[in-house]
Amino acid sequence: MELNNEDDDRATPRSVLGRRLRRLREAADLSQRALADKVGYPHTYLSRVERGEQLPSEALAEHLDTHFATDGLLVELLAMAQDASIPDYGRAVVDSERKAARIQVFGSSLIPGLLQTEDYAHALFRESLPGESEERRNGRVATRMRRKRVFEKEQAPYYWAIMDEAALKRPIGPISTMRTQLRYVLKAVESPRVSVQVLPFAQGAHPMLGGSLSLHTLRNGSTLAYVESFASGLPVESPERILELTQRFDVARSKALPERETLDLIRDYLREYEDDDDS
């Protein structure tokens, strides 16, 4: 893979992707308009991708890989470019998710990331990062959706999510987004490897108020922990601190509803959203 940029001393996955696309197009003796006609995307879009001003969608990257028979190269470069935009702690989370045999998460006010729908994630990033460009927001959403591929692995991890009831009560985006999101959660728990519990308001205070926690157990038995709060996160390496966080998670789990009651509560909220509309 090329690493030097004749126009910029600092190559990035985004710029490498753009240059590689341009060279593939030129080697095929195609103009941008001609390539656009073949793959069905605007030539102005392709131009921005080649200049490194915009990342392609995953669908476009797949179309281009198919057209140029590049065996997934542009899709891989796209994934690298999207991962490069994740903060350091976020990259650590994504990396250990891929290796985990069991993932346990607690979300204080949101549906956990691996259970989010695309529309829910878009609405969440739109409201929580209002100054961010649409392209960067789309990249964040694409990265979050790509993380779900851990469930498609031959040895998919066991996934145990606990969420505060606030995640069901507080609408993120339009009501239609919440309806789709809750249906998605109900569908996800049909897998024997996915468990969800809700910690109800009736339980009052609990040791995970105000934060989110991920515990990743690797196949060698070791556990990695990640604590996240507003716009920041922290990987935890100290065994003593991991033990403390695991205990907090266990206390929160003991206060949560059993899964059958959890699913009944989710269905109750879903019926409320179904009775409502976006007017």
Structural domains of the chain, ranges and CATH numbers in brackets: 13-83 (1.10.260.40), 88-275 (3.30.870)
The pLDDT, as a whole number, for residue 47 is: 92
SS3 state of residue 38: helix
Alpha helix ranges (H) inside the chain: 13-27, 32-39, 43-50, 58-68, 73-84, 88-99, 118-128, 134-147, 166-169, 175-188, 239-255, 259-275
The pLDDT, as a whole number, for residue 8 is: 45
The pLDDT, as a whole number, for residue 227 is: 85
Name the residue type at position 172.
Answer: I
Asked if pLDDT for residue 53 goes beyond 50, the answer is yes
Which of the residue ranges 35-39, 139-143, 214-218 would you say has the lowest mean pLDDT?
Answer: 139-143
Average pLDDT over residues 64-89: 80
Express as a percent the part of the chain with pLDDT over 70. 90
Q: How many CB atoms lie within 10 A of CB 175?
A: 16
Average pLDDT over residues 161-173: 95
| Secondary structure element (H or E) that encloses residue 224, with its range | strand 223-229
Average pLDDT over residues 168-181: 95
Alpha helix ranges (H) inside 28-131: 32-39, 43-50, 58-68, 73-84, 88-99, 118-128
Asked if pLDDT for residue 194 goes beyond 60, the answer is yes
The pLDDT, as a whole number, for residue 91 is: 63
The pLDDT, as a whole number, for residue 7 is: 43
Beta pairing class for 158-164 and 100-107: parallel
Instruction: Choose the most confident range, by mean pLDDT, from 33-42, 210-219, 232-241, 270-279.
Output: 33-42
Given pLDDT bands bounded at 50, 70 and 90, which one contains residue 26? very high
The pLDDT, as a whole number, for residue 25 is: 93
Average pLDDT over residues 16-25: 91
Q: How many CB atoms lie within 10 A of CB 15?
A: 17
Distance CA 121, CA 115 (A): 10
Distance CA 37, CA 15 (A): 23
Asked if pLDDT for residue 89 goes beyond 60, the answer is no
Given pLDDT bands bounded at 50, 70 and 90, which one contains residue 9? very low
pTM: 0.73
